[in-house]
Amino acid sequence: MEENTKSLLRFTTTGSVDDGKSTLLGRLLYETNCIFEDQYASICETSKRNGKEKVDLALLLDGLAAEREQGITIDVAYRYFATKKRKFIIADTPGHEQYTRNMVTGASTAQLAIILIDARKGVLTQSRRHGFLLSLLQVPHLVVAVNKMDLVDYSQEVYDQVVQDYTDFSRKLDIQDITFIPVSALEGDNVVKRSSKTPWYEGETLLHLLENVHVTADRNLIDFRFSVQNVIRPHLNFRGFAGSIISGTIRKGDEIAVLPSGKTSRIKEIITYDGPLEEAGNGSAVVLSLEDEIDISRGDMFVKPQNLPMVNNNFDAIICWMDETPMSLTGHYILKQTSNKVKAFVSKIHYSIDVNTLHRNQDTKTFELNDIGRIEIKTAQKLFFDPYRKNQGTGSFILIDPLTNLTVAAGMIRGRARSLDDIKVPEVSTKSTNVIWQKGEIPLQDYAERSSHKPAVLWFTGLSGAGKTTVAQTLIQRLFKAGHQVVLLDGDNVRHGLCGDLGFSIEDRSENIRRVSEVANLFYKTGHIVICTFISPLIKDRMLAKNLIADGFYEVFVKCDIEICKRRDPKGLYVRAIAGEISDFTGISSPYEEPKDPEFLLETDLMSVEQSVEVIMRSLKDKGVLR
């Protein structure tokens, strides 16, 4: 029973060739009494046969004949051991550059990584390469074990120099927790017991760190994701859905949404091999039953309705190519993510990364064995994912060759694919040929004197349901009663005529905003206060309007938490979008880029409509728009 309550730590070791990785792990296994007598007798005999004066503990990890003959690690060696405090799964990975794919495989599930550095050689190129790869894989804890201190007379100066060199390098990487320990794997110094030969070192031993490093906070307990692996139907009175909880937690009675259908229900039971649970969390293998009958199959995902993943069939990813056959840009692969398999295409190569120098090669035409870089992938069906940095379970995938069934690549999703055109600010739209702008006979100043206000364009932007139209309509009533010339251009209204031919793709949204900007400018030039209420999710589109109207443009950010917007849902659009009935819906399957420096900020989840209008009226007077 005590064994079942121990926490589990998965860690990996890596380093340059002959830095002593296998010896270090052999020392850990030996001194924690985690090897059998016949195993020890066998490596003693092999050590003598190889002419070694001392028992070669590395033989406990070097499982392949080629490894024993050459004294190197080739394949990933997995070992299990336990102490009184914790259970461990070790992945001993190779240091050779040609076995980069093996190193990535072994470190992909690690919560902690140990990089060994030979104290005699200092920080080598391979040491930097492994640090970069571990940073790329988002391994949260890194231990740099400065090994073979016995061969440099346990010199503090040598150790300090290695610490300084690697600290300087690690500043370039995304590594949050890094610890340095001087060790001698061969002699056992500072591995399990503190060494009297390093009195200048006041830190902890390697085993003490492994037993006490805090890893619970590294797990994603917020974003509930459960991928259905199988439908369980033992009899007519029970229907459950088997799978593992990828991240987050779930309790009986919690509301869930099923993707891609968007149907909602509540958890009726949480069932395990050992019996029912009230609550289950990250990593648990469970069967979930629901209160409602919903059509669900393998590959569907359970999530919380207030916490949704990204949904798209086009995304950016960092991949490691693992096959001897180069990547194909013309054929297709099978992409496996969670329990889902879809047809996928590599649509674009952004760059490859030289893991030794961190240089990006943007002229890369294909990926070959062990190459790492950034690509763009399109899938035949939409996937539900989170960025790898946020959720490794839903942000990772593998590519499979459909002909050989071999895994050819492992990848980490960065996010929805975007191009430079998505973010660059467009120039003000051009005019047709053979036309001349006809200036009005009435100057803007005369309009302002007659109407008691200056012309202005107030551009309301925010998520659907944030309250843009509600606030704008109340504002118009106030301005109209004050005798001001005011006009409303509403997102829905203009699509009944002026923009009725446009859809909601990124391109159509941009064209919609371009047309509205031109109309707003015409009203502006005749002295009106123009109120525009549009989601206008992209900064570049709003900048087009601002560049066109210039000084008279005021951006109004109607800010509201998306969960509150979903609850309001005045037009029922969120429900349809979650159900997959509406594609490219802002906040669900399409991004929203918040204004960086709006003239007005209205937090409508905290402010009433009247308060919001009063803020605008007061500010317009302060800015001299209203007299």
**463 annotated ligand-binding residue:** yes
Q: How far is CA 327 from CA 108, 207, 367, 401, in A?
A: 21, 42, 5, 10
Residue 583 among the catalytic residues: no
Indicate the pairing of strand 285-290 with strand 238-247: antiparallel
Q: Give me the DSSP letters along 560-608.
A: --HHHHHHH-TTSHHHHHHTTSSSS-BTTTB-----SS-SEEEETTTS-
Q: Exactly one of 127, 184, 536, 589 is catalytic; name it.
A: 536
**281 annotated ligand-binding residue:** no
**131 annotated ligand-binding residue:** no
**541 annotated ligand-binding residue:** no
Query: Residue 15 forms beta bridges with which residues?
Result: 116
Cβ partners under 8 Å of residue 125, min gap 6 = 356
**105 annotated ligand-binding residue:** no
Tell me the three-class secondary structure of 50-61, residue by residue.
CCCCCCCHHHHC
Selection from 422, 424, 413, 423 nearest residue 314 by Cα? 413
**272 annotated ligand-binding residue:** no
**283 annotated ligand-binding residue:** no
**407 annotated ligand-binding residue:** no
**148 annotated ligand-binding residue:** yes
**18 annotated ligand-binding residue:** yes
**141 annotated ligand-binding residue:** no
Burial class (CB in 10 A: 0-12, 13-18, 19+), 148: buried
Q: How far is CA 35 from CA 7, 218, 424, in A?
A: 21, 30, 61
Q: Could you give the 3-state DSSP secondary structure of residue 402?
A: coil
Indicate the pairing of strand 529-533 with strand 456-461: parallel
Tell me the three-class secondary structure of 204-256, residue by residue.
CCHHHHHHHCCCHHHCCCCCCEEEEEEEEEEECCEEEEEEEEEECEEECCCEE
Strands (E), 386-508: 396-400, 407-416, 456-461, 486-490
**150 annotated ligand-binding residue:** yes
**311 annotated ligand-binding residue:** no
**595 annotated ligand-binding residue:** no
CA 2 to chain centre: 36
Query: Residue 352 forms beta bridges with which residues?
Result: 361, 373
CA 406 to chain centre: 26
Are 370 and 100 within 8 A, CB to CB? yes
Instruction: Tell me the C-alpha distance between 319 and 352, whole Å.
Output: 9
**63 annotated ligand-binding residue:** no
Per DSSP, 493 falls in state H
**275 annotated ligand-binding residue:** no
Are 481 and 576 within 8 A, CB to CB? no
**497 annotated ligand-binding residue:** no
Cβ partners under 8 Å of residue 319, min gap 6 = 367, 372, 373, 374, 375, 399, 409, 410, 411, 412
**227 annotated ligand-binding residue:** no
- Asked if the peptide bond before residue 537 counts as cis, ω within 30 degrees of 0, the response is no
**469 annotated ligand-binding residue:** yes
- For tokens 């092999």, the residue is 46
Q: Token digits for 237?
A: 């009175």
**544 annotated ligand-binding residue:** no
**15 annotated ligand-binding residue:** yes
Selection from 508, 504, 503, 615 nearest residue 558 by Cα? 615
Catalytic residues: 536
Binding-site members for ATP are 462-469
Binding-site members for GTP are 15-22, 92-96, 147-150
Binding-site members are 15-22, 92-96, 147-150, 462-469
